[in-house]
Amino acid sequence: AQSVTQLDSQVPVFEEAPVELRCNYSSSVSVYLFWYVQYPNQGLQLLLKYLSGSTLVKGINGFEAEFNKSQTSFHLRKPSVHISDTAEYFCAVTQGAQKLVFGQGTRLTINP
């Protein structure tokens, strides 16, 4: 069975600092990986996805993630965060079907 572990439940950073949100997955087969963001009182918005090809994936709002098959990781990074990045971030995995398995989420707090 697939599972996703987001290693940090909360990450506080200062504005304009870099940030990395960590995600590890477990699966014995090829997977598709996603990062979604959830702003307060809203649904999930797709940040980026890895389906195949280049292991460095660029998404919206300046975020990027790197797929590392040997370490079964898909960490999310941003070189300089803004107050508006305050939200909860979810890593998700699927073997290709519509059923996504989500991590527990990482709450990113940006301090001025």
Counting every residue written for the chain, the total comes to: 112
Binding of residue 74 to another protein (CB under 8 A): no
Tell me how far apart the 2 most distant CA atoms of the chain are, in Å.
Answer: 42
- Cβ 36 to another protein, closest distance in Å? 7
Give the separation between CA 42 and CA 52, rounded to whole angstroms: 29
54 binds another protein (CB under 8 A): no
Of 83, 89, 82, 87, residue with least CA distance to 103: 89
Residue 105 is a binding residue for another protein (CB under 8 A): yes
User: Which of 17, 46, 56, 83 contacts another protein by CB under 8 A?
Assistant: 46
Q: Does 9 bind another protein (CB under 8 A)?
A: no
**Which of 112, 23, 12, 4 shows the shortest CA–CA distance to 65?**
23
94 sits near another protein (criterion: CB under 8 A): yes
Contact residues for another protein, defined by CB under 8 A: 32, 34, 36, 41-46, 49, 51, 90, 92, 94, 96-105
